[in-house]
Amino acid sequence: MTHIRAYLTLLFTVTFVTSPLFTSPFSGFRADQLPIPQIDPPIQPAGYAFAIWGLIYGWLVVSAVYGLWKRRGARAWDRVRLPLLISLALGTPWLAVANASPIWATVLIFAMAVPAIWAVMVAPRTDRYWLRAPVSIYAGWLTAAAFVSLGSTAAGYGVLMGALGWAYVGIIAALGVAVFTQWRSRAPGYGLTVIWALFAIIMANGTAALGVSLLAGAGIAVMTILAITTTGRPIS
């Protein structure tokens, strides 16, 4: 079959988007899933932030349908499709895994995030709203979500430090990845999505964990500057 990547991208987009219909809802690891229960850990964004999944799901579907219809054989799209469909295929069972095992859910979400970041790195500037934007927000949210999962799970198993310490480590590590990705990809949607997650961390913590909120605020400043200064610049 010709143009197999276009068909596979649509297939795995559909399986990924419809996967919540076939598993229990997930809003964070349950208290009984971790030796040290993590109830609203400081690294976790406020609940409203997860509404971004509606935008991600819808835009990825539109992108996959448009790509199959209008860009089936486009080489620039195929460079993005390969890592994207890998990420989507890995992401299809993620909710079921998360409801069963925090450790494997953390491993799996990092495995999803790596090819998603690869996809945004190679996304062309053409077809900005049909391809680059949806891939960018998907990769941006996975960047944040991967380190939220890591921080929650590590704190839940008492690895080295508690939930507050892992909030600092997770935010700093996520920012390291986000800064590199934003600088290399020049994709404003990626940076804006990371900012969305950081702002939701501030909203979740307020002054109760002031240091975490201040760190997230500093991250917003950095990502805002990068998003402004890198947009429109050639990719080196």
The domain total for the chain is 1
Residue 12 has pLDDT above 90, yes or no: yes
Q: Give the pLDDT confidence score for residue 236 in this predicted structure.
A: 41
**Rounded to an integer, what distance in angstroms lies between the CA atom of residue 165 and that of residue 154?**
10
pTM tops 0.85 = yes
Which structural domain, as residue segments, surrounds residue 135? 4-24+39-230
| Start-to-end CA span in the chain (Å) | 35
Average pLDDT of every residue of the chain: 93
Token duo for residue 44: 């976790």
Q: What letter represents residue 162's amino acid? A: G
29 within some domain? no
72 domain-assigned: yes
Whether 34 is in a domain gets the answer no
What percent of the chain clears pLDDT 70, i.e. is strictly above it?
97
* Model confidence band, residue 23 (pLDDT cutoffs 50, 70, 90): confident
Q: Is residue 194 part of a domain?
A: yes
Identify whether 189 is part of a domain.
Answer: yes
Q: Is residue 31 part of a domain?
A: no
Q: What is the mean pLDDT of residues 112-125?
A: 96
Write the DSSP string, 88-154. HHHHTTHHHHHHH-HHHHHHHHHHHHHHHHHHHHH--SSSIIIIIHHHHHHHHHHHHHHHHHHHHHH
pLDDT score, position 235: 47
The answer to whether residue 232 scores a pLDDT higher than 70 is no
User: pLDDT of 131-165, one tens digit each?
Assistant: 999 999 999 999 999 999 999 999 999 999 999 99
**For 41-89, how does the pLDDT look when each residue is reduced to its tens digit (9 = 90+)?**
999 999 899 999 999 999 999 999 999 999 988 899 999 999 999 999 9
Q: What is the per-residue pLDDT across 175-202, written as a single tens digit (0 to 9) for each?
A: 999 999 999 999 999 999 999 999 999 9
Question: How many other C-beta atoms are found inside a 10 Å radius of the C-beta of residue 124?
Answer: 15
Check residue 29 and give its pLDDT: 82
Residue 32 resides in a domain: no
In a domain, 184, yes or no: yes
- The set of residues, in sequence order, having a beta carbon less than 8 Å from that of 21 and lying 6+ positions away, is none
